[in-house]
Amino acid sequence: MGDPFLRLENVSKTYGDLVAVRDLNLEVPAGELLGLLGPNGAGKSTAIRMMTTLTAPTGGTITLGDWDVAKFPQQVKRLFGVVLQQTSVDVDLTVWENLELHGRMHRMPQPERAAAIARWLEYVELTERRESLVKTLSGGMKRRLQIARALLHQPQMLFLDEPTVGLDPQTRRRLWEIIKDLKAKGLTVLLTTHYMEEAEFLCDRVCIMDAGTIIEVGTPAALRTKYGQAVLVHQQAGGITYRFFPDGTAAHAHLTAQSDPTGLMVRPTTLEDIFVELTGRGLD
């Protein structure tokens, strides 16, 4: 990975007496795909709003590239693209009109704008739908259009806010391929998701937030090494409990030593197991 492209230093945000995020410290190297995970209310959205100039931090500093996000928002906006969970394209315009409008807002010269629109429509496989009204597109097509629009001005970083929520499995996997390819092209990517298999497949590292703070950062493999490669699942009348072990051998040894193994099962640890262990609840 390269030098830090995104840096948060002691970043906090308060609304009156409410502390939304507290003392966030994080570095995202250039070219990394980082997953920002956390239950609803953890502070992820507030953090992303501050990173993307929509909300000013109450304290601390956010740097994107060489720019202080709060002091130089116009310069920072040229460096990133955003794909929101909600459909944020104009459904009453055509595919081409949405991209043309975005290019004009970024003051892209006409020849460059036309070439970029053609390039990214082909990339997201929407060339044949360029004259279609957005309201006629499927959910997956709309999300691909949002990605094309976010990439039109050639940003260096992409913020993806739950980009595959509500999509069918085939469309979700196609978007995974696109996101992987964008990272391979050198983009720095910050992704929020509630799908743990998505984070496992896409992310170089994950950052887990809860109650407005960062509680863990690392690669999925490193987190499994830290918390345990195997988990013993115990299903009983009162619910299901989980116990971590360094590896499968240790877990099976513990299982074998039980006089009554009813309801016990050993399996490899997943990222979701670790998430629930750290936050005390599942993703909702």
**Averaged over 157-176, what is the pLDDT?**
92
Question: For the chain, what is the radius of gyration of the CA atoms?
Answer: 21
Residue 46, pLDDT score: 93
Q: 6-31 pLDDT, tens per residue?
A: 999 999 999 999 999 999 999 999 99
Claim to verify: residue 158 and residue 260 sit in the same structural domain? no
Claim to verify: residue 10 and residue 33 sit in the same structural domain? yes
Could you tell me if residue 187 is inside a domain? yes
**DSSP secondary structure of 42-105:** SSHHHHHHHHTTSS--SEEEEEETTEETTT-HHHHHTTEEEE-SS--S-TTSBHHHHHHHHHHH
CATH of the domain at 61: 3.40.50.300
Claim to verify: residue 81 and residue 127 sit in the same structural domain? yes
Claim to verify: residue 166 and residue 259 sit in the same structural domain? no
Claim to verify: residue 233 and residue 118 sit in the same structural domain? no
Could you tell me if residue 121 is inside a domain? yes
Could you tell me if residue 277 is inside a domain? no
Please give the sequence-ordered ranges of beta strands (E in DSSP) within 198-271, or none if there are none. 205-210, 213-218, 230-236, 239-245, 264-268
Average pLDDT, the chain: 93
Claim to verify: residue 124 and residue 12 sit in the same structural domain? yes
Which two three-digit tokens encode residue 275?
């998430």
**Averaged over 243-261, what is the pLDDT?**
93
d(CA 243, CA 234): 8
Q: 56-105 pLDDT, tens per residue?
A: 999 999 999 999 999 999 999 999 999 987 778 899 999 999 999 999 99
Q: Which residues of 39-51 are buried (b: 16+ CB within 10 A; e: fewer)?
A: beebbbbbbbebb
Q: 44-69 pLDDT, tens per residue?
A: 999 999 999 999 999 999 999 999 99
**Averaged over 110-134, what is the pLDDT?**
95
Sign of the CA dihedral running 188, 2, 78, 131: negative
Claim to verify: residue 131 and residue 258 sit in the same structural domain? no
Per-residue pLDDT at 40 exceeds 90 = no
Residues of the domain holding 153: 4-217
Q: Measured in Å, how far apart are the chain's first and last C-alpha atoms?
A: 32
CA angle, corner 167, sides to 164 and 169, nearest 5?
Answer: 95
d(CA 51, CA 12): 12
Residue 281, pLDDT score: 57
Counting the structural domains of the chain, the total is: 2
Could you tell me if residue 238 is inside a domain? yes
Claim to verify: residue 241 and residue 148 sit in the same structural domain? no
Residue 282, pLDDT score: 47
Cβ contacts of residue 240 below 8 Å, gap of 6+? Answer: 233, 234
Residue 1, pLDDT score: 56
Could you tell me if residue 283 is inside a domain? no
Q: 169-205 pLDDT, tens per residue?
A: 999 999 999 999 999 999 999 999 999 999 999 999 9
**Averaged over 128-155, what is the pLDDT?**
94
Could you tell me if residue 107 is inside a domain? yes
Q: Which residues pair with 158 in a beta bridge?
A: 81, 189
Claim to verify: residue 56 and residue 182 sit in the same structural domain? yes
Q: 215-227 pLDDT, tens per residue?
A: 999 999 999 999 9
Amino acid in position 33:
L
Sign of the CA dihedral running 91, 93, 94, 100: negative
Residue 26, pLDDT score: 97
Cβ contacts of residue 201 below 8 Å, gap of 6+? Answer: 176
**Averaged over 226-242, what is the pLDDT?**
91
